[in-house]
Amino acid sequence: MSHFKAPPKKSLGQHFLTDRSYIDKIVMAVNPQPGDRLVEIGPGQGAITFPLLRKHGELTAIEFDRDLITPLMEASEGVGRLTIVHKNVLDVDFGKLAGDGKIRLVGNLPYNLSSPILFHAIEHAASIHDMVFMLQKEVVDRMAAEPGSKVYGRLSVMLQAYCRVDSLFVVPPGAFRPPPKVDSAVARLVPRDASAIGIAHHRRFEEVVRAAFGQRRKTLRNALGGTCSTEQIEAAGLRPDARAEQIEVEGFVRLANLPAEG
């Protein structure tokens, strides 16, 4: 088995996956096809990297921890063609990596960076075929939540506006070294076709969603006071006395697409 022992770094939120059965389930969920451009975020000790490399022959990995790069390269010899991008993933332009095609993203995302990485990915949604990520189960629950759910919030709306989100399976703490204090889960995100997304201005959409969920107890009229008028809320077909967690994704899209008031 091509992986190596390196102590996990607490400062980087590293929990290395070691349970073979869950590694196999993730590889099956990715199911790489000929011609796919696989990009792994944070390969760690290569638990998912090498099974994917054996199956597919080539892979690009984005790794910030300098100490892991040489061992990963050495362990990949004779397994497949591994390319490592030594960068913080938030500084990586997925569009450039995709070139004239699309990439498939995979990764056991560091707990302390999962939301920023997800937001970074949706900014490049047009260059991504799909994403199979492992995250804290609580984060996956929020990502896939429906309106009216206690955990439906900004993350749910932002991701579901750009992607179809499916929660695939739960991974218990014992599958990792060191074991995290919480359950993890694997999710698949499939970016929607640009025409199906229908968001006119990404920044405006982000601003409206952020304001709406900024104070959960408030009605839309009060939460969106400085962002949208009562007339705009009504023009989008929404009730000013509703709360953000009751509004479907399409409602936020309609509201953010309204012309700005002069």
pLDDT, one tens digit per residue, over 168-209 is: 999 999 999 889 999 999 999 999 998 899 999 999 999 999
Please tell me whether residues 56 and 75 are part of one structural domain: yes
Give me the mean pLDDT over the 142-162 stretch: 97
Note whether 176 and 222 are same-domain residues: no
Whether residues 15 and 105 share a domain: the answer is yes
| pLDDT band at residue 15 using 50, 70 and 90 as cut-offs | confident
Confirm or deny that 17 is annotated as ligand binding.
yes
Percentage of the chain beyond pLDDT 90 is 87
Going by C-alpha positions, the residue among 4, 25, 5 that lies closest to residue 77 is: 4
The reply to whether 15 sits in an annotated binding site is yes
Are 182 and 155 in a shared domain?
yes
Q: How many domains does the chain have?
A: 2
The residue range of the domain holding 237 is 202-257
Beta carbons within 8 Å of 157's beta carbon, 6+ residues apart: 209, 213, 249, 252
Note whether residue 4 is domain-resident.
Answer: no
pLDDT given at position 110: 84
Is it the case that residue 3 has pLDDT exceeding 90? no
Are 189 and 140 within one domain?
A: yes
Q: Is 52 annotated as a binding residue?
A: no
Asked if 107 and 134 touch (Cβ cutoff 8 Å), the reply is yes
Q: What is the pLDDT of residues 130-145, one digit of tens each?
A: 999 999 999 999 999 9
Q: What is the pTM of this model?
A: 0.92
67 and 186 in a common domain: yes
Question: Of 75-84, 110-119, 141-150, 243-252, which gets the smallest average pLDDT?
Answer: 110-119
**Average pLDDT of the chain, as a whole number:** 93
Q: Domain containing 119 — which CATH number?
A: 3.40.50.150
**Is 257 part of any known ligand binding site?**
no
Q: Is 207 annotated as a binding residue?
A: no
Contact 164, 122 (CB under 8 A): no
Q: Is 99 left (phi over 0), alpha (psi -120 to 50) or beta?
A: left
Within-domain flag for 206: yes
For residue 39, is pLDDT > 50? yes
